[in-house]
Amino acid sequence: MKRVGFLTSGGDCQALNATMRGVAKALYNELGTEVEIFGFEEGYKGLIYNEYRQMTPRDFSGILTKGGTILGSSRESFKTMRTPDENGLDKVAAMKQNYRRLELDCLVILGGNGTQKTANLLREEGLNIIHLPKTIDNDIWGTDMTFGFQSAVDIATNCIDCIHTTAASHGRVFIVEVMGHKVGWLTLHAGIAGGADIVLIPEIPYDIDKVCDAIARRNRAKKGFTILAVAEGAISKQDAKLSKKEYKKKLENYEYPSVSYELADEIQKRTGADVRVTVPGHMQRGGSPNPYDRVLSTRLGSKAAELIIAGKYGYMVGIVNGETCKVPLGEVAGKLKMVDPNAGIIKEAKRIGISFGD
């Protein structure tokens, strides 16, 4: 009998349910009644406070197209995992105790970078862990693609598509703020797919003068409007030179809701353009997973089941060069997959005239 725990942690995305379904269906198909699955509710919180429910094949039926997570999620910071809660509870000890109380053979953890670091911590503490890479940011090291990314690209791209008609009608400059605090994969792909004229990402600090020059070039060419796809973590060259302490102090006294509004203000002052900001926000996490993510999630889930049946633990399941693979958790936990400013996709985008403000 295999006894397997599931939990989903951190921000939700479109394909969490599809991925859990992939794991569960493969386990049930291969092991029949010789597997029991326990779902911990609201991420690590459920594991800490022993809030779970035993699941059945029926729980995983009809969820391939369902967004969000049937188990719920929460953000439990990796930095505070070793810090006792308000009642003095040792969270790591509690998670280990609850894992062992249920006599689990392994714990399947679906989540992004912070989730992955805690998953690796539990591995180091002696628990059998399988991690599945979830994030709309596609920033997890060791896998070419994370589930949720392509679905979010679809939504962000559709937002840019919709902006095109109104921008053209009024001759305005539009800024579309795309999710991504530390990396720019989502903004980069949505910006190219949506035909944005300027794409600003955290990995390439922008020069506001270069941004305004790109807008001016379009005006001289009688283009009539300009669309910027801006990552929420985009940063100017000036701010990039600040120390972490100095930048943090600036943000404490920040007068704008986000960098997009600061950009809008600067562009308006320098060019006199009529500038509008659109922030799709959590829409990018919502809705049904697209076909690509449904396939990817099913494949990653099935591979995870293969490892569980074989008793191979301590891995993230990733996809590299189109094939699923197991990646040692200890080798990838805590590493961010950034956009290389010299990558081919950046050069190709610049070649067709997209400005990165550098």
Residue 107, C-beta contacts closer than 8 angstroms, at least 6 positions apart: 4, 5, 6, 7, 47, 99, 122, 127, 128, 129, 130
Which of 3.40.50.450, 3.30.420.40, 3.30.1330.20, 3.90.79.10 would CATH assign to domain 2-148+289-332? 3.40.50.450
Q: Are 139 and 122 in contact (CB under 8 A)?
A: no
The answer to whether residue 355 scores a pLDDT higher than 90 is yes
pLDDT at 244: 83
Mean pLDDT of all residues belonging to the chain: 95
Cα separation, 140 vs 334, in Å, equals: 9
pLDDT at 91: 95
Strand blocks (E) in 11-148: 35-40, 52-55, 106-111, 129-133
Cα separation, 147 vs 318, in Å, equals: 10
Q: Give, in order, the Cα–Cα distances in Å from 13 to each of 10, 68, 197, 289, 323.
A: 9, 6, 28, 8, 22
210-247 pLDDT tens trace? 999 999 999 999 998 999 999 999 999 998 898 888 88
The answer to whether residue 193 scores a pLDDT higher than 90 is yes
150-285 homologous superfamily: Phosphofructokinase domain (3.40.50.460)
44-50 average pLDDT score: 96
pLDDT at 242: 87
User: What is the model's pTM?
Assistant: 0.94
Q: Are 108 and 304 in contact (CB under 8 A)?
A: yes
Cα separation, 182 vs 36, in Å, equals: 38
The answer to whether residue 251 scores a pLDDT higher than 90 is no
- Report the relative pairing of strands 315-320 and 129-133 from DSSP bridges: parallel
pLDDT at 150: 98
Residue 338, C-beta contacts closer than 8 angstroms, at least 6 positions apart: 139, 182, 183, 203
Q: Which one-letter DSSP state was computed for residue 58?
A: G
- Taking alpha carbons only, the member of 127, 125, 152, 157 closest to residue 138 is 152
Q: What are phi and psi of 141, to 5 degrees?
A: -70, 140
The yes-or-no answer to whether 2-148+289-332 and 150-285 have a common fold is yes
Cα separation, 258 vs 105, in Å, equals: 45
Known catalytic residues are 137
Most confident of 248-252, 255-259, 334-338: 334-338
- Taking alpha carbons only, the member of 119, 104, 146, 125 closest to residue 328 is 119
Give residue limits of the domains in the chain: 2-148+289-332, 150-285
